[in-house]
Structure 1
Amino acid sequence: MRLPLIVLAVLAAGAGAYWLLARGPAVQMAVAQTGNAAQVVYATGVVEPLQWAKVTALQRKRIIDICKCEGRRVKKGEVVARLDDAEERAVLSELEARLERLRADAERTKTLVERNAMSRISFEEKLTEVREFEARVAAQKDRINDLELKSPVDGIVLRRDGEVGEVAGTGVNDVLLWVGQPTPLRVVAEINEEDIGKVAEGQKALLRDDGFDDGVLEAKVQSLTPKGDPKTKTFRAYLALPSDTPLMIGMSIEANIIVREASGVTLVPADAIDDGKIQVVEDGRAIHRAVDIGIRGSRMVEIRSGLDAGEEVLSPWRGDLKDGARIRLAPAAQQ
């Protein structure tokens, strides 16, 4: 009896396999939905005040004094830092002493000219030397004045990056103090050159920062720079922030700029589409159907025509299935 039982088991297994094959492979399915679609352009940026300025050194010198004034209001022209000027003052003293001697010499020459004891040309030469050293003294005073770093604008000291004893650099990034108005704020964002043509003033932007997980942070495209950076292949966009934004100066931001929107449209998962076609489930078969695609999102895609909401489609697209192939439906994917 054991042999007939084995034969029956083999026959049953074969029948089951044939039944499964006849039904086709198992696939995942999604239902076309009605919803809203948005096409966005991704950008990254930094929060900055609308009005601000940097305090930097014009000469590479050691810092001898810098205000401890972060958060304090300062006036335009107020001295906020001083650099070592000992060498420059020593030179100034020598120039001023030489100028005094030249002036005294010129006065003596003038007296001799008036007495006809010396030519007028000699007096003019002395005056030329006096004027030359007056200019040199004035230039040296300007050098000393440049070592007193003043606030370029009225505002609040937003940040201090220098300390007494450090050597102040003269590079673009060698900023000692940042002065500006804490409001209004904006996001200075960088946009890839292939996307900049889609962005326009007035478009809404949705912002993300790791420090603010709750709620949606919004901004609006305020302006775009007309010239891009050929090295980074990006353009700069300025996004205006509302007055009540919780974002703070210096925060790094990710932005999704909404360039197109559509409401009440048919949506399917993005992975259900392949080269303008979808696989619609009809009577247990996968039917290839061409569709007109609208807005493409990261997860969902708008279908303008060729598919109605409520129809079932394969998600993801199955490249191994021919048009009209039989299929077995696995549990529907939740979209």
Structure 2
Amino acid sequence: MRIKFAPFIALTLYVLGSCQDEQEGYVVQRETIVESVYSSVVVEPDELYRVNALNSGYIDELLVEIGDSVHPNDVLFAVRDVQSSSTASNARLSLDIARSNYNGDVNLLNDLKIEINDALLKMRTDSLNHFKNKELHHKGLINDTEFAQSEVMYSSSKTRYSLLKNRLARTESDLRTALNQAENNYVSSLSRSNDALVRNRLSGVVYDLFKETGEFVSVQEPVMIVGSSERFVLKMKIDEVDITKVALGQEIIVSLEAYKNKVFKAIVSHISPKLDAQTQTFEVEGVFTEKPPKLFMGLSGEGNIVIDKRENVIVIPLAYLIANQYVLTENGRKRVKTGVRSLSHVEIVSGLKPGTKILKEE
């Protein structure tokens, strides 16, 4: 029995041994190779901003909904600011008082003018008495004491008249200044009240709402997001290792989840100069040169920024490259010089010819 089965066993071992000796091979040929930097992509409007209230208060009215088209200067919502309303009322009251003090029916200036007229009459009377007493004193009809008393009264009335005129000028200046300040404060309070109406600053669409009518909102809280509806950009996060390879104007090959089995083209339009410390990446933006029929905020996909493209060059799979500088041929190891690399292939600048069979090293 052993003699009959021995040839069969020997043949089986030979065949298995022969299969193990055969190595996977690749015939070198000329192809096109593209070196690229890969990143996930997100589609966003090229203009996008969060709309905040200009003052804290309660949302009196929301005039738009998600998806509404908006234009510059459209009113988006109104905020009822209780404090601003109170401030405006107080400013108006102060203005009325300032106007009344300056030119009302009963005002400080009129009172002073009455006092000045009285002082003027008294000064004239004292003047007449003084000069009359002067003649009498000269004739010896009154004594020195009586003459001195009339002189003092005249001097005193002149001083009072002069002081009242100066007081009128100062009071009029102070009241006018107070009136101007009250007018400015009132105008300023009205301006703050007008700030309650928040207006749009670009043509686009309302993409999101965070608040409802009646809710309180502070100046730090966004109420909605508004952005462009016609122009979109691609946002990419590029690793710091690859960012030095990226340049403005480079082509981006884009595939989107919303458009299966379709490829679109874009170019690099902006490179952020600052590293994001959290993600250790740089943000790169791209604009479509061949864009999909419809775009929406938040569409996601993949993008490859074309760093270099070589046509009709010798290319081999990376799996056949040994230690970055050798390949294995049927005649043994051979040193090669490499060029552009992709994720799966590498260009061979020198050391190999088309048609050469290379093997994978065990």
Larger helix proportion of the pair: 2
**Worse-superposed segment, 26-35 or 263-272:** 26-35
Counterpart residue identity of residue 261, structure 1: K
Q: Given that residues 66 and 209 in structure 2 are in contact (C-alpha distance below 8 angstroms), is that contact kept between their aligned partners in structure 1?
A: no
Match in the other structure for 1:234: 281
Matched, 1:304 2:356: no
**TM-score normalised to the size of structure 2?**
0.72
1:260 to 1:62, Cα distance in 2 relative to 1, 3 A? same
Q: How many residues align?
A: 307
Q: Given that residues 109 and 171 in structure 2 are in contact (C-alpha distance below 8 angstroms), is that contact kept between their aligned partners in structure 1?
A: no
Distance 2:183 2:306 in 1: 63
Counterpart residue identity of residue 111, structure 1: N
Distance 2:250 2:77 in 1: 42
Counterpart residue identity of residue 87, structure 2: V
Distance 1:243 1:18 in 2: 59
DSSP-derived class of the 1:242 partner: strand
Residues 249-288 of structure 1 aligned to structure 2 (within 5 Å):
249-282=297-330, 287-288=332-333
**Worse-superposed segment, 295-304 or 15-24:** 15-24
Match in the other structure for 2:171: 122
Q: Given that residues 113 and 120 in structure 1 are in contact (C-alpha distance below 8 angstroms), is that contact kept between their aligned partners in structure 2?
A: no
Instruction: Give me the identity figure in percent.
Output: 23
Match in the other structure for 1:56: 52
2:193 aligned residue (137, 144, 148): 144
Q: Given that residues 48 and 225 in structure 2 are in contact (C-alpha distance below 8 angstroms), is that contact kept between their aligned partners in structure 1?
A: no
Q: Which has the larger radius of gyration?
A: 2
Deviation at 1:96, TM superposition (A): 1.1
Deviation at 1:73, TM superposition (A): 4.3
Match in the other structure for 1:88: 84
Deviation at 1:138, TM superposition (A): 3.0
Q: Given that residues 62 and 168 in structure 1 are in contact (C-alpha distance below 8 angstroms), is that contact kept between their aligned partners in structure 2?
A: yes
1:60 to 1:193, Cα distance in 2 relative to 1, 3 A? farther
Q: Given that residues 71 and 156 in structure 1 are in contact (C-alpha distance below 8 angstroms), is that contact kept between their aligned partners in structure 2?
A: no
Unpaired runs of 5+ residues, structure 1, are 319-335
Q: Given that residues 269 and 299 in structure 1 are in contact (C-alpha distance below 8 angstroms), is that contact kept between their aligned partners in structure 2?
A: yes
Superimposed CA distance per residue, residues 240-298 of structure 1 (whole angstroms, 9 cap, x where no aligned partner): 11375333233234221101000112222112223224443417xxx222211111111
1:179 to 1:50, Cα distance in 2 relative to 1, 3 A? closer
Q: Given that residues 44 and 191 in structure 1 are in contact (C-alpha distance below 8 angstroms), is that contact kept between their aligned partners in structure 2?
A: no
Superimposed CA distance per residue, residues 121-153 of structure 1 (whole angstroms, 9 cap, x where no aligned partner): 333333343344333333332332222110113
DSSP-derived class of the 2:235 partner: strand
Q: Given that residues 30 and 313 in structure 1 are in contact (C-alpha distance below 8 angstroms), is that contact kept between their aligned partners in structure 2?
A: yes
1:291 to 1:132, Cα distance in 2 relative to 1, 3 A? same
Counterpart residue identity of residue 209, structure 2: D
Matched, 1:161 2:157: no
Match in the other structure for 1:197: 244
1:305 to 1:185, Cα distance in 2 relative to 1, 3 A? same
**TM-score normalised to the size of structure 1?**
0.77
Matched, 1:134 2:183: yes
2:25 aligned residue (11, 26, 29): 29
Larger strand proportion of the pair: 1
Distance 1:146 1:215 in 2: 48
Distance 1:270 1:177 in 2: 47
Distance 1:109 1:187 in 2: 70
Residues 164-175 of structure 1 aligned to structure 2 (within 5 Å):
164-171=213-220, 174-175=222-223
Deviation at 1:32, TM superposition (A): 2.7
Cα RMSD, aligned residues only: 3.1
Unpaired runs of 5+ residues, structure 2, are 117-163
DSSP-derived class of the 2:307 partner: strand
DSSP-derived class of the 1:142 partner: helix
Distance 1:40 1:169 in 2: 46
Distance 2:189 2:268 in 1: 47
Distance 1:23 1:55 in 2: 70
**Worse-superposed segment, 300-309 or 274-283:** 274-283
Counterpart residue identity of residue 251, structure 1: L
Q: Given that residues 55 and 179 in structure 1 are in contact (C-alpha distance below 8 angstroms), is that contact kept between their aligned partners in structure 2?
A: no
Superimposed CA distance per residue, residues 22-51 of structure 1 (whole angstroms, 9 cap, x where no aligned partner): 886554333333211011012344323334
Q: Given that residues 39 and 297 in structure 1 are in contact (C-alpha distance below 8 angstroms), is that contact kept between their aligned partners in structure 2?
A: yes
Distance 1:297 1:179 in 2: 37
1:210 to 1:100, Cα distance in 2 relative to 1, 3 A? same
Residues 9-20 of structure 1 aligned to structure 2 (within 5 Å):
9=6
1:228 to 1:70, Cα distance in 2 relative to 1, 3 A? same
Distance 2:260 2:89 in 1: 62
DSSP-derived class of the 1:68 partner: coil
Counterpart residue identity of residue 305, structure 1: S
